[in-house]
A and B are shown apart, each in its own frame.
Chain A
Amino acid sequence: MFKSVYNWIDERLDITPLWRDVADHEVPEHVNPAHHFSAFVYCFGGLTFFITVIQILSGMFLTMYYVPDIINAYASVDYLQHQVAFGQIVRGMHHFGASLVIVMMFLHTLRVFFTGSYKAPREMNWVVGMLIFFIMLGLGFTGYLLPWDNKAYYATKVGVEIAASVPVLGPYIADFLYGGDIVGAQTLTRFFAIHVFFLPGALIAMLAAHFIMIRKQGISGPL
Chain B
Amino acid sequence: MAHGHNSNEKVVYVGDSRVKKSNHPNIPPDYTAFPGKSEAFIPNFLLKEWMVGCVVLVGFLAWTIAEPAPLGYPADPTNAAFVPMPDWYFLFLYQFLKYPYVSQDYILLGTLGVPGVLFGGLLLAPFLDTGKERRFYRRPIASSLMFLSLIACVYLTVVSWDHYQHTLEANGQIPEHIEREEKAREAAEAGKERPNYTKPAPVASLVDADDPAMDIAKQAQCVSCHAADLKGQGSVPPLTGVGDILSKEEIAEVITNGRNNGAMPAFKDSLSSEEIDQLATWLSKQKTAAE
Contacts and interface: CB of A to CB of B under 8 A. Distances in A.
A127 interface: yes
B39 interface: yes
Interface residues of B, number: 87
- The 4 A-B residue pairs with the shortest CB-CB distance, nearest first, are A92-B64, A116-B134, A29-B36, A123-B126
Contacts of B139: 116
A54 B63 CA distance: 14
A13 B150 CA distance: 49
A212 to B, nearest CB: 13
Contacts of B42: 23-24
A119 B134 contact: yes
Contacts of B97: 162
Contacts of B111: 162-163, 165-166
Interface string B46-75: 001100110011001101110111111111
Contacts of B56: 47, 50
Interface residues of A, number: 88
B7 interface: no
B38 A151 contact: no
Contact of B38 (A20, A23, A26, A183): A26
A26 B41 contact: yes
A46 B71 CA distance: 30
Interface in B115-154: 119, 122-127, 129-136, 139, 142-143, 146, 150
Nearest to B137: A114
15 contacts: A20-B26, A20-B28, A26-B28, A27-B38, A32-B39, A32-B45, A74-B75, A93-B64, A113-B146, A116-B139, A118-B126, A119-B131, A127-B123, A137-B89, A141-B87
B194 to A, nearest CB: 7
Contacts of B227: none
Interface stretch (A142-150, A193-201, A203-211): A142-150
Contact of A27 (B39, B112, B119, B175): B39
Contacts of B71: 77-78, 81, 147, 149
Given A115-B136, A153-B75, A25 B177 contact: no
Interface stretch (B76-84, B211-219, B241-249, B278-286): B76-84
A106 B21 CA distance: 41
Given A113-B125, A123-B126, A140-B87, A150 B73 contact: yes
Interface string B72-108: 1111110100111111111001100100000000011
Given A119-B126, A134-B119, 17 more contacts: A26-B31, A26-B40, A27-B44, A30-B34, A30-B36, A50-B53, A70-B75, A78-B198, A81-B68, A89-B65, A96-B67, A100-B60, A122-B126, A126-B126, A220-B134, A222-B34, A222-B35
Interface of A: 11-12, 14, 16-17, 20-21, 23-30, 32, 34-35, 43, 46-47, 50, 54, 70, 74-75, 77-79, 81-82, 88-89, 91-100, 102, 110, 113-120, 122-123, 126-127, 130-131, 134, 137, 140-141, 144, 147-155, 157-159, 162-163, 165-167, 182-183, 218, 220-223
Contacts of B75: 70, 74, 148-150, 152-153
B36 A148 contact: no
Contacts of B53: 50
Contacts of A89: 61, 64-65
A141 B56 CA distance: 26
Nearest to A17: B26
Contact of B29 (A25, A50, A141, A167): A25
Contacts of A54: 57, 60
A153 B76 CA distance: 8
Contacts of A116: 129, 133-136, 139
Contacts of A127: 123-124, 126
A77 B42 CA distance: 41
A222 B31 CA distance: 11
A75 B73 CA distance: 10
A137 B82 CA distance: 24
Among B89, B108, B112, B130, the one with the most A-chain Cβ atoms within 10 Å of its Cβ is B89
A165 B97 CA distance: 11
Contacts of B122: 130
B182 interface: no
B33 interface: yes
B266 to A, nearest CB: 42
Contacts of A12: 11
B159 to A, nearest CB: 17
A167 B136 CA distance: 38
B143 A99 contact: no
Nearest to B196: A78
